[in-house]
Amino acid sequence: MTGRKLLREEIEQVWNIDRSEVIDNVYHLESGTLVLRPQYFEVPGWPPGEAEKYTPILLDCFDRGGWFHGAFDHAALIGVVVLENKCIGKHNDRLQLKFLHVSIAYRNRGLGTQLFELAKTTARARRATRLYISATPSENTINFYLRLGCAIAEEPDLELLELEPEDIHLECEV
């Protein structure tokens, strides 16, 4: 496996990442506390229309100076991490971790952690003090971020909260 900066013309390859997963439990935020509830469903991959909806958003992020890093197994993109370039928060000191996905066959090998740590290093180099994550509320996803030192965002970004009200909004010092 190798990692490198993702080129603009490679961005559409993110939809080749196999994000399938079986979810047994989902977190909910209730009065500032994470509550885990049973909720079984299978995620067979990207939802229909996801690539068409989000490719322009990712391309726009890239064009604004967003940071894209890919993990490859030979020529296949198997993991990706994206940092937004625009700082958010009342002190303009947080960068959004816009995208972090690892193909199912490559999970639980430390690749997600490596991508996350690389994003933290990059955010620090860009003078951010925190990463902001709007995370899918599945048990595996939230536990992944909690293990890496993330916590519930004390001041959720209102724009992102409105866009993704079911997500768990987290932050992490960089």
Domains and CATH numbers, the chain: 2-173 (3.40.630.30)
Rounded Cα distance between 128 and 89, Å, is: 11
Reported as a single tens digit per residue, the pLDDT across 141-171 is 999 999 999 999 999 999 999 999 999 999 9
The pLDDT value given to residue 135: 97
pTM over 0.75: yes
Q: Answer whether 168's CB lies under 8 Å from 152's CB.
A: yes
pLDDT of residue 126: 96
Count, in order, helices (H) and strands (E) of the chain: 4, 9
Q: Among 108, 83, 105, which residue's Cα sits nearest to residue 96?
A: 83
pLDDT > 70 fraction of the chain, expressed in percent and rounded: 100
- The pLDDT, as a whole number, for residue 19 is 95
The predicted pLDDT at position 72 comes to 97
Per-residue model confidence (pLDDT) at position 161: 94
What pLDDT shows up at residue 36?
Answer: 98
Q: Residue 85 and residue 67: Cα distance in Å, rounded?
A: 7
Residues of the chain under the 70 pLDDT cut: none
